[in-house]
Amino acid sequence: MEKRTLGTDLSVSTIGLGCMGMSEFYGPRDDSESLRVLARAVELGIDFFDTADMYGPHHNEELIGSFLSRNKSQVRIATKFGIVRNPGEYKRSLDNGASYARHACEASLRRLGVEQIDLYYVHRINSEQPIEETIDGLARLVKAGKIARIGLCEVSAETLRRAHAVHPITAVQTEYSLWTRDVEHEVLPTCRELGIGFVPYSPLGRGFLTGRFQDTADLNDGDFRNNLPRFAEGAIGSNRRIADVITEHAAQKGCSPAQLSLAWLLSKGPDIVPIPGTKRLRYLEENAAAVQITLSVEEQQQLEMSISSLPVVGERYTSEGMKGVNA
């Protein structure tokens, strides 16, 4: 798989792997299957794994640490801190303080079994804690060799500029897909102005853009999408028209809706590295094959025009989930 560069020096595979669903949020976990997915990802040339200390909590980093202990592959690890959860609870608080960052980083290093984290994100921005102080604390972790690079998640363009003035930011991770394009207004242009890479999470709209979900009955008990406004009864039916359009264009292109959605993101610039998440081998292989699909400018425009007339019903998150978003 070809490489792309985030920031000035982080060379990673064109598509990364979001590992969150291997631990929670999308139904029961299966560590044996997840380890097979991680191994197959490496075989396919994927060398960029994305995790966070709050996935599980902690289980996801431990899972990746277990994989790394048995597989001495050159995988780049991105993890995050800043969302504080108690085991068994979704309720969370935010802490971006330097002291907490140092404590969280040390714990992540132990769970991952690595000496240095390749890319360390602030998972959500706490607007009550100055971003300059947060980045200064992370810069000290860089100097100490604990982390190699700093990233930010779901950040506003203004906060990104303030952060980057303290220490270079390597990447911004924010939701970006055919049904979530807010970043194109300010955040993505700012990243490009400052030379910062962009990592879209949920590039398949949490699976919705693949056409797999026709109504709420398709969601299992315990699936957190049951609590997301876009998947709610009354919204999912209207939003299905977007997935249907993508399916039609994919059929014309001779690929799957998931592959078309990823190919569209990859066509938006060489500084974009999407991280579709999966815990299933067949979806991993399907997603990885998207790098072989090239969209012409005309195909991009036709796809975007077909979707632009279809409004998305529902916000991305509930009010609880919006904590620290666009801060």
What phi and psi values does residue 39 have, to the nearest 5 degrees? -65, -45
Query: How many Cβ atoms from other residues are within 10 Å of residue 314's Cβ?
Result: 16
Cβ neighbours of residue 14 under 8 Å, at least 6 residues apart? 1, 2, 3, 4, 266, 273, 291
* Burial group, residue 262, by CB count within 10 angstroms (0-12, 13-18, 19+): buried
Active site residue 90: no
* Annotated catalytic residue, options 26, 55, 120, 201: 55
Q: Cα-atom radius of gyration of the chain, to the nearest Å?
A: 19
Euclidean distance between the first and the last CA atom of the chain, given in angstroms as a whole number: 35
Tokens at 269, concatenated: 């610039």
Rounded Cα gap, residues 89 and 251, in angstroms: 41
Residues designated as active site: 55
